[in-house]
């Protein structure tokens, strides 16, 4: 009896000591307390192993690993008889999920053992995604029976307040999703109210007037609206469309005569985008959490029924745009009645994202691209405009495009719109500027000439006599120039300007003989065959083939013909317009490559200040200043000299430009025509703007690409010119030559 009293006193003393232990630090890297009195226990007739504390520690280590089965195995036999394995596991999973626990940290504080009984004190910290760290000290009893130690368990070992069958409940506090703006603060994606316009056919008093008014708001012909309810019963409510509350406020008078006379409106909160969906491939879209990702979002503190970013900046910037969720973690009875509050945390304001694009310029670029594709033989296309000294994307357009509002799950007509988009063979969801991969045709000659100069096999003044055909692969593989009869004797600098194919066939052949890996390696030094690293945009890496790639992927060896095709941007080569934009920007600025970005800054919010997005250098072009000057002079002559392949397209353009045409054969082209490219920069020489400002150095790099449209000089160069005119505010736009 004296020994039992002594043990009890020691246990009480240990409990008091724990109150003086240092608080658990944020890192949770605290050593186990060494203060652990070891009482003297008299020998018994049946010796009991001194392993109680080890079992207790194992129980909590298993909890840190969310190993609930392992925890159950360490319960005492009596506890296992009272709670089944499935119920035990389910209770822990439910509690951890409800509290949004991301990690469990445990710290044993003290332990004592007396015969077949033992006791531990353990501090448990839950890292939660919503209410922060929840810390509780637990008293854990262990018992020895059936030859082993086990934890004597009840619900209080999850959380002391849960004793007696109580449960956890989390009331979320979710901040409003932040907006996406252009560089000047014009909203591109924002939280707002949408109004659904519906009609009850049997209640219409003036059908023609109603359809005319609704048609003006929705920009839909009255006959198309009528088709939506033609087969409906008189008392059915049929949705005609959705408009923003702002638009309804501007033109709401149009609808006033028809409200409650067949027309019904319903307002709701939703994600809204600018009219016509400016820059949809940049801003992206939101939607319901995909089923396969629900668990991941739940672990981050999401409730599970929210709308999240699924593409573009909406997806990339989710951590900024969502803010930080807060909530009230409470104890409730089995009937849901409030008992107590475990912990609360206020939500943290979301942060808006400002893009590098100007919405007005972006819209005009999109319109120019759409016009070029729709009026030419082309089937699709893209345009990229980069700031040459920063890598900032000033415009990025892809056609066909889409309206991101169709991803609004609350739209009654959303399913129809989504089905049409997903089944559209033109793939409007693809951002062709960054995800479209193509052979570049003669654009790649910029890289090939650079490789030739770096190989020391060539100089800018090395000559080649072009006769219009090239036979070094054998008479059965004769290759021809685009110009019948060839170009005569030309230097390699001039060969780039006139885009002499046979000159570059020969260069590719000779480089391959010297080292088949040399030209592919130079292409990679130009940033090809790898993502540019742009934030907020899904992009393709493209492909630079070499002997290793071909044997590993095609199962065939590399032959001279592969190198010859690569030299003129054909064969297995695949690259994106964005990658070419980075290259042209670097040529324009003197050789510095920049990681392109669409992010201008992150707005303030949640206690964080406004955060300018950094300009990031990504490498240097592998060219000396002298060799870079050769490229720039040759590209200047493309646009200015009579023998340049696109000079006739820039007559009368007041802004000096330089660039390169590309006509890329496309075996899968639906109309059998090649892809039309033009890439260049402006101004390529000092330019005096209308306001008298003299611009000495290049400012923008532009890549224009139209799929299956014909020659680069015929379609690519006029589209490039239009973009330059728009950027520099040229009032009289040159018409497309094919119109």
Please give the structure tokens belonging to residue 473.
Answer: 């692969």
Which pLDDT belongs to residue 414? 61
Kindly state the DSSP code that residue 415 receives in the 8-state scheme. H
Mean pLDDT of 429-455: 97
The residue assigned the tokens 């658990």 is 24
Cβ atoms of residues 588 and 681 within 8 Å: yes
Please compute Rg for the chain using Cα positions. Answer: 35
Q: What is the pLDDT of residues 556-572, one digit of tens each?
A: 999 999 999 999 999 99
Report CA dihedral (184, 185, 189, 194) to the nearest 10 degrees: -130
Q: What number of CA atoms fall less than 13 Å from residue 676's CA on the CB side?
A: 28
Average pLDDT over residues 112-131: 94
> What is the percent of the chain with per-residue pLDDT over 70, rounded to a whole number?
92
**C-alpha torsion angle, residues 571, 575, 577, 580 (rounded to 10):** -100
d(CA 409, CA 415): 8
Q: Work out the pLDDT band at 270, boundaries 50, 70, 90.
A: confident
Q: Determine which helix (DSSP H) or strand (DSSP E) holds 18, and give its type and residue range.
A: helix 2-18
Please compute the mean of the pLDDT values over residues 620-646 and round it to a whole number.
Answer: 97
pLDDT tens, position by position, 211-252: 999 998 888 899 989 998 999 999 999 989 888 888 888 887
In which band, very low, low, confident or very high, does the pLDDT at 666 lie, cut at 50, 70 and 90? confident
Identify the band that residue 115 occupies on the pLDDT scale cut at 50, 70 and 90: confident
Residues 6+ apart with CB under 8 A from 447: 519, 522, 523, 526, 528, 583
**Is 672:721 a contact under the CB 8 Å cutoff?**
no
pLDDT digits (tens, 9 = 90+) for 14-45: 344 433 333 333 333 333 333 344 444 444 44
Distance CA 273, CA 401 (A): 14
How far is the C-alpha of 371 from the C-alpha of 376, rounded, in Å?
8
Q: Could you read off the pLDDT of 362-389 as tens digits, one per residue?
A: 999 999 999 999 999 999 999 999 999 9
CA 285 → CA 189, 360, 412, 622, 665, distances in Å?
A: 9, 20, 17, 38, 34
Q: What is the pLDDT of residue 366?
A: 97
Q: Look-up: residue for tokens 């949770």?
A: 28
Average pLDDT over residues 76-98: 96
The Cα diameter of the chain in Å comes to: 116
What is the mean predicted confidence (pLDDT) over 457-465?
96
pLDDT of residue 18: 39
Q: What is the DSSP string of 22-47?
A: PPPPTT---PPP-----------SS-
CB 598 within 8 A of CB 393: yes
Q: How large a percentage of the chain has pLDDT more than 90? A: 79
The band of 454, judged by pLDDT with boundaries at 50, 70 and 90, is very high
């Amino acid at each position: 009896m004296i020994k039992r009293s002594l043990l009890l006193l020691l246990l009480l003393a240990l409990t008091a000591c724990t109150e003086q232990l240092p608080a658990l630090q944020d890192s949770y890297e605290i050593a186990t307390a060494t203060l652990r009195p070891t009482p003297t226990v008299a020998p018994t007739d049946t010796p009991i192993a001194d392993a109680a504390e080890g079992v207790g520690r194992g129980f909590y280590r298993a909890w840190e690993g969310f190993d609930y089965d392992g925890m159950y195995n360490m319960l005492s036999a009596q506890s296992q008889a009272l709670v089944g394995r499935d119920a035990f596991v389910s209770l822990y999973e439910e509690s951890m999920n409800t509290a949004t626990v991301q990690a469990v940290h445990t710290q044993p504080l003290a332990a004592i053992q007396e015969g077949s009984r033992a006791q531990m004190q353990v501090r448990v910290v839950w890292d939660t995604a919503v209410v922060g760290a929840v810390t509780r000290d637990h008293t854990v009893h262990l018992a020895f029976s059936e030859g082993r130690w086990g934890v004597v368990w009840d619900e209080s070992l999850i959380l002391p307040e849960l004793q007696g069958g109580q449960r956890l409940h989390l009331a979320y506090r979710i901040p409003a999703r932040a907006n996406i703006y252009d560089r000047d603060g014009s909203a591109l994606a924002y939280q707002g109210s949408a109004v659904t316009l519906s009609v009850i056919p049997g209640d219409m008093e003036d059908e023609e007037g109603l359809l005319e008014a609704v048609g003006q708001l929705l920009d839909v012909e009255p006959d198309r609206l009528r088709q939506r309810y033609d087969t409906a019963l008189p008392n059915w409510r049929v949705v005609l469309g959705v408009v923003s509350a702002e638009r309804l406020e501007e033109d709401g008078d149009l609808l006033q005569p028809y409200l409650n006379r067949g027309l019904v409106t319903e307002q709701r909160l939703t994600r809204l985008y600018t009219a016509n969906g400016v820059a949809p491939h940049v801003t992206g879209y939101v939607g319901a959490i995909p089923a396969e990702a629900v668990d991941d979002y739940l672990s981050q503190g999401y409730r599970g029924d929210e709308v999240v970013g699924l593409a573009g900046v909406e997806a990339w910037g989710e951590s900024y745009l969502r803010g930080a969720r807060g909530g009230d973690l409470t104890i409730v009875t089995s009937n849901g009645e409030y008992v107590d509050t475990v912990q609360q945390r206020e939500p943290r304001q979301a942060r808006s994202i400002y893009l590098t694009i100007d919405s007005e310029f972006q819209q005009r670029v999109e319109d120019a691209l759409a016009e070029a594709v729709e009026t030419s033989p082309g089937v699709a296309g893209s345009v990229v405009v980069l700031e040459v000294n920063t890598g900032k994307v000033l415009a990025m357009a892809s056609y066909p495009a889409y309206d991101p509002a169709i991803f609004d799950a609350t739209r009654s007509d959303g399913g129809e719109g989504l089905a049409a988009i997903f089944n559209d063979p033109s793939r409007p969801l693809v951002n062709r500027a960054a995800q479209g991969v193509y052979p570049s045709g003669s654009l790649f000659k910029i890289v090939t000439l650079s490789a030739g100069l770096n190989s020391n096999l060539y100089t800018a003044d090395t000559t080649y006599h072009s006769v219009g055909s090239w036979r070094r692969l054998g008479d059965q593989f004769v290759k021809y120039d685009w110009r019948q009869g060839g170009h005569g004797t030309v230097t390699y600098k001039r060969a780039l300007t006139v885009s002499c194919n046979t000159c570059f066939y020969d260069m590719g052949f000779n480089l391959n003989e010297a080292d088949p890996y040399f030209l592919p390696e130079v292409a990679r030094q130009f940033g090809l065959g790898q993502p540019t690293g742009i934030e907020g945009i899904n992009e393709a890496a493209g492909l630079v083939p070499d002997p290793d790639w071909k044997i590993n992927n095609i199962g065939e060896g590399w032959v001279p013909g592969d190198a010859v095709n690569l030299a003129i941007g054909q064969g297995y080569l695949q690259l994106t317009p964005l990658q070419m934009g980075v290259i042209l920007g670097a040529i324009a600025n003197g050789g510095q490559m920049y990681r392109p970005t669409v992010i201008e800054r992150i707005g303030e919010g949640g206690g964080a200040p406004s955060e300018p997005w950094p300009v990031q250098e990504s490498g240097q072009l592998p060219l000396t200043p002298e060799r870079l000057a050769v490229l720039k002079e040759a590209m200047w002559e493309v646009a200015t000299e009579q023998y340049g392949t696109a000079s006739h397209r820039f007559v009368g353009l007041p802004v000096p430009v330089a660039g390169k045409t590309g006509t890329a054969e496309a075996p899968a082209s639906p109309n059998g025509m090649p892809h039309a490219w033009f890439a260049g920069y402006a101004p390529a020489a000092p330019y005096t703007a209308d306001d008298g400002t003299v611009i000495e150095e290049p400012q923008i790099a532009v890549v224009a690409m139209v799929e299956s449209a014909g020659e680069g000089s015929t379609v690519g160069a006029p589209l490039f010119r239009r973009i330059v005119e728009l950027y520099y505010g040229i009032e009289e736009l040159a018409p497309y030559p094919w119109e």
